[in-house]
Structure 1
Amino acid sequence: MAEATPAAGISGAERAAILLMSLGEAEAAEVLKHMGAKDVQKVGQAMASLTNVTRERANEVMDRFVMELDNQTALGVGADDYVRRVLVGALGEDKASGLIDRILLGRNSKGLEALKWMETRAVADLVRNEHPQIVAIVLAYLDPDQAAEVLELLPERMRGDVLMRIARLDGIQPAALRELDEIMEKQFSGGNNLKSSSVGGLKVAAGILNLMDSAMEQTIVARIGEVDADLSQRIQDLMFVFDDLGEVDDRGIQTLLRDLSTETLGMALKGADARIKDKFVKNMSKRAGEMLLEDMEAKGPARVSDVEAAQKEILAAARRLADAGTISLGGKGEDFV
C-alpha cells in the first residue's frame, strides 16, 4: 500500500484493517465475529500486509468512517452522537473514551491540542528551532509515545537538555500556557482547547524515556546525570523496565497476555532472564507455553534492536492497562502509573 495514497484511494478492506487495528485486538476480534468468512479473509489479509501506517493515514480513515456514518444516519441523528453511543455500547465507557476522543475531538483540535494529531516529524520540524524550554512544555503536553518519537527526531545536543527541563517542570501558569497555545495556533491555524496547566514533571520525563530506543535512553540519562545526578536518579527510579514485569501479579500477567501476540512475546523474552520467562510461561496454558518455547528455540538468535522493540511494545501495553486500572504494575514504576 503506497504511503502517499489518500484514504479515499485505498480499498475498503484496507480501510477496515486500519480501523480495526486502531481498536485493538480484543475489540477487533469482536467485530470480526460478525463478518462473513470471505470478508474476514479479505480484511485479515489487509491487516497482515499493512506497514508503516502513519498517524495522518489513520486519521484520514477515521474521518472517512465518520463521514460515511453521517450520510447513513442523517434522519435526525447526529453522526457524532451516533458514533459515541455505538462505541460506548460496544466497548464500554472506559475503553471507548480514548477512541471517541481520537475520532471526534481530533478533527477539530487546534493550538497545542492539534499537535497530538500531527505527524511526528512535522511536530519535530515545528519545534526544533524553539527554545528548549518551549520544546519541553510542548513535549510534556503530548502523549508519552508521541513525545518519545519527537524527541528522537530532535538534534542529539538538545535531547538531554529538553528532558531535564521536562522533569523539572512543576506545572505552568494557565496564562503562559494560553500564550504558548496562541503561538502554536498562529503557525497552523489554532484554537483554545487547553485541558490542563499541569504539564511536565518527573513522571512525564520517565514515561517519555520508557518509550525511547534503549541506547538513546541511556545516553540521555547519562547526560542528565552529568548536570544533575540527583535528578537523573529520581527519573530512573520512576522508570518501569521490562524486568519489573516480574513484580506484576499472575492475574495481571494473564490480562496482559491477552493483549500480546505470540510473535511479540517470543521476541521480547529472548532478551529476558529466566525469572521473567517463567513468569509468562506459567500464566499460559501448558500447550501454549510449550509452543512458545519451541518457537523461540526454532527461530534462533535475534537482533538486540528487535528484542528491545518487542519489549517496549509490551511495556506500552502494560502501561495502557495500568492507566485503565485493569492491572497494577509493581516494581519501581508503580508510582509512575
Structure 2
Amino acid sequence: MGRVKDDYRSLSGTQKAAIFMLSLGDDHAGRLFEMMDDDEIRELSQAMAGLGSVNSNIVERLFVEFADHLSTTGSLVGTMDSTERLLAGSLSKERVDLIMEEIRGPAGRTMWDKLGNVNEAVLANYLKNEYPQTVAVVLTKIKPDHAARVLSLLPENYAMECVTRMLRMEAVQKEILDHVERTLRNEFMTNLARTARRDAHELMADIFNNLDRNTENRFMSALEERNRESAERIKALMFTFEDLTRVDSSGVQQLLRHVEKDRLAMALKGASDDAKDMFFRNMSERAGKMMKEDMESMGPVRLKEVDEAQAEIVTVAKQLAESGEIVIAGSSEEDELVY
C-alpha cells in the first residue's frame, strides 16, 4: 500500500495535478485526458498510480488553493499574446501562426467557417464600420441564412448599399479576397477572442455549481475564511435549483416540457417547499398527483443523486434562458418582473 500523503508542501506540481484528476471523477477526468498528448497522459498516470492514500485535508486544501488562485489572481488565465510568445520560443513561426489562428475565435477550418459561428449581432456590429464592398464580399462567403440575419441588423440604408454591391459583384479577385481574410483574421477575430475571455469568478461559479452540495459548502466556507469578497462574488454568480423559483409560470411550464419526469421527481425529493410548490402549481392536478406518488415510491434517495438531477434541470433552464424561451428574473429590484 502506498504511503499516506499528509504534507501538502512536499507535493510536486504533477502530484497536485494527479490528485486533482482523481478527485474530479471518471467523466470530467476523461474529458481532460482527451485534451492531453501522450507524454502528458503518461506522466500524469504515473503520478496517479504512485500517490497511495491521500489525506482528505490535502484534497480540500488543493481545491481551495485552486479556487483562491483562479478567483483572485487570475494566475491560471493566460492571454493570446503570452501564449503566442510561449509557443514562439519552441516552434517555428509557421506552426505558431497556424495554432494561433485555430484558437483565435470560433471553430472552423477556414475564415469563412469561423465567421459562420460568430453571433450575427457581433458580426453586424463589426461590419457596419467597414466599406460596403467589404461587407458584400463577406456576406457572399457565409451561409445565406446567417447572411440574412446579419443583413437585417445593419442600418437600412447601409444594408441596401451592401445589397446593391452584392448584385453587381462579379468574380472577386484572389488578392482582394486574401486581403479581406487577413483583415478579418488580424483585427476582428483577434479582438473577438480577447473580449470573449471569461471572468474568473464566472468560471468558478460554474465549477462550484457542479460540485455536490457537501463539497460546495465545505469549499465555500474555506474560501470565505481566506477571501470573503471573492466568495461573495462567486455566490452572487452561482445559479442553483432553488433559483428556479424566480422563473415565471409560463417559463416553468416550458421547462416542464423539456425535463424528464423521473429526473424532476428525483430533484424535488431534496428541494425546498417553495421550489416544490412552484413546480406543482404549474402542473395539472393529475400530473402533480402522479409526481408526488413517484416521489413517495422512491423512498430514501442519496443526496448525490438529488444533486445530479437538480444540476441537469438547471442546465436545461440555462439553455432555455440563453435561447430566450424562458426568463429568469434577477434577485434585485431592477430585475423583478412586472405584470
TM-score (norm 2): 0.49
Higher Cα radius of gyration: 2
